[in-house]
Amino acid sequence: MVYHYYPGCTLKTKAKDLDRYGRKSMEALGITLTELENWQCCGGAFTMAKDEIATKLSSVRALADSRDGVLVTLCSACHNVIKQTNYAMANDAEFAMKANNYSKFDVPYNGETKVMHYLEVLRDVVGFDNLAKAVKNPLKGKKIAAYYGCLLLRPSKALQMDNPENPKILEDFIRAIGAEPVLYPYRNECCGGYMATEDQSVAAKKSGQVMDSAAEMGADMIITACPLCLYNLTKNAPGHQIPVYYFTELLAEALGVKD
């Protein structure tokens, strides 16, 4: 099985750690992520309007180029945009027709590629039991709050990743690397997202609520798969001391492949 990998814009710039530790860890687990040639930025947000075609074409190209395997995403936003685009290609005949008319692929694309988030590869291909066996430095005694945010789970109809209201994939991951998951009410609420560019105070309010909620339940640290969540939680929630990490960094640490 070929695991095509779509890193996305931010993993090549501000979120290099998310990418680097992700690749190293997957390699250590026996799976090679092959970066897709000529991938283009997904745009960060799926445009819901049915008559928006051009904004979704970069995702359509990545999907069509991955037909011989699985397309793996790591950034929450890429995951969200590419899965929603794939769902639209499979279920919205008019959109698929227009995208195909423009793209002129040798064989029309209609949503055949399987898209998996990195965490889904850990859960469904590697298996959390096997991951636990591969761990060299278990993160014993660490109380970790998983932050899903909005993009990993919703809309569940298209993403089909986990239960959108009571997810457990990140908590299972935390257990597999030897730590203790901390449940808290705001784990799947929004950090304020791109509102940081429009009104920073909104991002501060939303991120502050998430940090307060995790702190109240006794978390030592928070993990995320999203560069924008990490940015908002660390920079736009002043006065909060809980450190925020990419989950791949802790994974690499547990597997003993962190520099």
Partner 1 sequence: MNNNLKEQVLRMSGVNPLKCMRCGKCSATCPSYDEMEYHPHQIVYMVEKGEIEKLMASPSIYKCLSCFACVERCPRDVEPAKLVEAIRLAVIRQQGQNHLKAKDIPDLIEADPDLPQQALVTAFRKYTK
Applying CB under 8 A, the residues found at the interface with partner 1 are 8-10, 13-15, 41, 43-52, 55, 75, 77, 149-151, 153-156, 164-165, 189-190, 192-199, 202, 205-206, 226-228, 231, 235
Of the two residues 114 and 235, which places its CB atom closer to partner 1 in the complex?
235
Nearer to partner 1, 29 or 203 (CB): 203
Sequence-distant (6+) residues with CB within 8 A of 60 are 85, 89, 99, 103, 109
**Residue among 131 and 153 whose Cβ is closer to partner 1:** 153
Smallest gap from residue 209 Cβ to partner 1 (A): 9
Nearer to partner 1, 78 or 182 (CB): 78
Q: Supply the minimum distance, in Å, between the C-beta of residue 160 and partner 1.
A: 13
Nearer to partner 1 by Cβ, of 85 and 176: the residue is 85
What is the smallest separation between the CB atom of 134 and partner 1, expressed in angstroms?
A: 30
- Report CA Rg, the chain: 18
